[in-house]
Structure 1
Amino acid sequence: MKQHPDTESALLSRLNRHSGMTVPEGYFESFAQNMSDILPEQPWEKINENPDGKVLPAPGIWHKIKPYAYLAAMFSGVWLMMWVFGDILNRTSPQMTDNPVIASVLGTDRLYDFYNDNIDEYELMEELCDEGIVFTDLEF
């Protein structure tokens, strides 16, 4: 909804929107020149000159290919990181039967006899009840 120009100017005149901060006329047109006149010249601003006044050689090839080398290193790092994480996520946990020692123990009755002698039947029934197993559903 657009306001009428008279209403808009009346609203703006009632607001105190002048904070007292003003910029002199033409300040930003000559700002860059004034700033460079005020600041002292730095030694790094002299391109290809050393203190003796001799011209230094132009930058080598490394300065030209450095951004591309960094970019290639970054992409190589990202690829390597994705490969490592993908390898970790695709791994499966090893089965107990893959280990020959554990497989031989599981294949005998010694393991059953060991745990059968050390387990109280009442504690076993309590654990099964705690896990939510109903005895009427079990088949014997």
Structure 2
Amino acid sequence: MKRNDLELQKKYGKKNPFTVPEGYFDRFADELMAQLPEKEVAALPKIGMWDRVKPWVYMAAMFVGLMFTIRAFVGNTQSENDANILSDMPDEYIEAIVNQSLMDDYELYQYLTDAETGIYN
């Protein structure tokens, strides 16, 4: 301890000059709560259907926009190149390729029909 602290202890001693009434802390919480004003409980706001669905709609729109953006930049270069290769190829080579692909007539007809209507594009 410092010298000043020792002098104060000699002069006043270690006795606590403050006293607390009997049972003060036993009823302290109840008295404090009684003195506080009543707090009004606010009703919870209603959440509508649109507020619940809105994040999902925004996320779906984001993915659709991302899909169109990627498709615009990448394009359909592969299918255009395939069509050009087949149109420049002689019929003998095409017949050999079809025979080696193990496609029957119905599968070949279905493939050519889908290719003409642009289903795969």
* TM-score (norm: length of structure 2): 0.31
* TM-score (norm: length of structure 1): 0.28
- Name which one, 1 or 2, has greater alpha-carbon Rg: 2
By relative contact order (CA 8 Å, sep 6+), the higher-ranking structure is 2
